Amino acid sequence: MDGVRVAAIRALTAAEALARRDDIAEIWPEASRDRLDEILPRHAARAGFRFFAAEEHDLMVGFSYGYLGAPGQWWHDLVSAAMTDEQRRHWLAPGHFEFVELHVRPEFRRRGIGGTLHDALLDGLESRTAVLSTQVDNDAALALYRGRGWQIVVPELRFAAGGTSYSILGLELAGEDEE
């Protein structure tokens, strides 16, 4: 990799991830304490929760996490309402994986850490599809995801009136076969 050192990637249990909220807040400054103190524990309790941390010299420099989505979950239900019946059946079928967050400290970007965290989070999943949302103007994220095979499923969705516009992306996984 031409002398660029990639951070060590390791899986954290839900309890380990929750114990590292201060580290997560440093990497993800846009997240409010409410999100970290209320929503992260809710996500950590969901089926299929996975969390990966990138570390260099005991410093968390990035993380990714996700879980199995299901009806009755806020994100799932808003995205489901924005999809056609066919999209919903395909992308949000029972057992789909929701790729929730991927963040890398700015000073550690452009070193392959985001891609490695992406790949670690999806590796070995039994899900047939994965879905995520990212801001429509987040060119770096869109380039990373498109480069790894993600496709835009819903071009634009606002989770709140007047809020930021997001694109919903989907990825076919090598999980369970359709029959």
Catalytic residue among 65, 67, 145, 166: 145
Residue 121 contacts residue 66 (beta carbons within 8 Å):
yes
Nearest-10 Cα torsion for 59, 64, 68, 71: 110
67 is an active site residue: no
Give per-residue burial for 19-47: e unless 16+ CB within 10 Å, then b.
Answer: ebbebbbebbeebeeebbeeebeebbebe
Of 69, 57, 61, give the one whose Cα is nearest residue 24: 61
- H runs (alpha helix) in 2-138: 14-19, 21-27, 33-34, 40-44, 74-82, 85-91, 113-122
Tokens of 135: 């801001």
Alpha carbon distance 12, 173 (integer Å): 22
Q: Write out the catalytic residue numbers.
A: 145
